[in-house]
Amino acid sequence: MRFGGLVAVNDLDLSIEPGQLYGLIGPNGAGKTTVFNVITGVYRPTSGEISFKGQPIVGERSGKITRRGIARTFQNIRLFGEMTVLENVKVASHCRQTADLASAVFRTPAHHSEEKRVDLQSRDLLKIFHLEQFADEKAKNLPYGSQRRLEIARAMATLPRLLLLDEPAAGMNPQEARQLMELIRWVRDRFGMGILLVEHNMKVVMGVCETVHVLDYGATIAVGPPAEIQRNPKVIEAYLGGA
């Protein structure tokens, strides 16, 4: 992926199996968020292919990609601040709804039953993420850790097959990070989706991910299970600099 004269990501070969916990790490500026943005359609890659469930998705708008089943969270939290926590989650389930605008205007029974279904489903999701007590609170008023969890809950509401988490543990203390790790594992076990994780917190990455993929200056320098990666000399050098 090229931005003008700068090559952000080059020669990336990455594939994720259903239900796999995949981690993407690398020093700052290595191109990790760019990979996310390219996968989710925010940027159009200047070269290369991406396919999901056997279908090519390059060039599609991010909304369409989400509807295919790839959901993401953002590195800088992008919640809908003025909306309540519950509404944030409900918006994300809009793409999985069937009732249309006409039924909303005429308040048909179909509209009411759909709203009820979405409400219950959204509240369930909030319970999973320990956010149900904030349901009617404006998202911007939440404490930081809860906002991060809301981001994930919201992404989950789109019923994804692949979940992209962009630095979900950023700013968390060790205890919160541990809870997050359990949550991620639980979500994968319960819903069976693949999870691609970008993180700087090594404990989280090594503790949760089954495969770790290391980037440096936009290129892959190692891929493998956590134990291997931790011993890989190229990885150590990339993080700590040359001797």
Partner 1 sequence: MKGFVLAIVFVAVLFLGNSLLTGGLLPGFSVSPYFLQVVSLAGINIILAVSLNLINGFTGQFSIGHAGFMAIGAYVSAYVTAAFGDRIRGALGMLPPTFQNSALLLIALGIGAACAAVAGFLVGVPSLRLRGDYLAIVTLGFGEIIRVFILNIDAVGGARGFSGIPRLANFAWIYLFAGATILVVSRIVRSSFGRTLVAIREDEIAAEAMGVNTTRSKVISFVVSSAMAGVAGGLFAHYLMYVHTNSFTFIKSFEIIIMIVIGGLGSITGSVLGAVLYIVLTEGLRQFAQYRMVLFSLLLIVIMIVRPQGILGHRELWSFFPRRRRVEPVPPAVAG
Partner 2 sequence: MTTFLQQLVNGLSLGSIYALIALGYTMVYGVLRLINFAHGDVYMLGAYAGYYLSRKLKGDEPSLGSALLVMLGAMLTCALIGVVIERFAYRPVRRAARLTLLITAIGVSLFIENTAQLVFGPDPKFFPSLAPRADFHVGGVRLTSEQLTVIAVSFLLMVLLRFFIMKTRTGKAMRAVSFNLDAAKLMGISTDRIIAITFALGSALAAAAGVLIGMQIPKIDPLMGILYGLKAFVAAVLGGIGNVPGAVIGGLLIGTSEVMVVGYLSSTFRDAIAFGILILVLLLRPQGILGRAQKEKV
Smallest CA-to-CA distance from 151 within 239, 80, 231, 69 is with: 80
For partner 1, which is the closer residue by CB, 87 or 210? 87
Report the Cα 12 to chain-centroid distance in Å: 19
DSSP conformational letter for 84: B
- Residues in contact with partner 2, counted by CB under 8 A, come to a total of 5
Q: Coil, strand, or helix at residue 128?
A: helix
Q: CA-CA distance, 132 to 128, in Å (whole number)?
A: 8
Report the residue from 7, 10, 14, 42 that binds partner 2 according to the rule CB under 8 A.
42
Q: Rule CB under 8 A: is residue 62 a binding residue for partner 1?
A: yes
DSSP H or E segment with residue 215: strand 211-216
Q: Which does 33 bind (CB under 5 to 8 A by kind): partner 1, partner 2, none?
A: partner 2
* Placement of tokens 């891929």 in the chain: 223
Q: Which does 90 bind (CB under 5 to 8 A by kind): partner 2, partner 1, none?
A: partner 1
CB 178 within 8 A of CB 148: no
Report the residue from 4, 5, 15, 101 that binds partner 1 according to the rule CB under 8 A.
101
Query: What residues line the site for partner 1 (CB under 8 A)?
Result: 40, 42, 61-64, 66-67, 71-72, 74, 78-84, 86-87, 90-92, 94-97, 99-101, 104-105, 107, 111, 114-116, 118-120, 136, 138, 154-155, 157-158
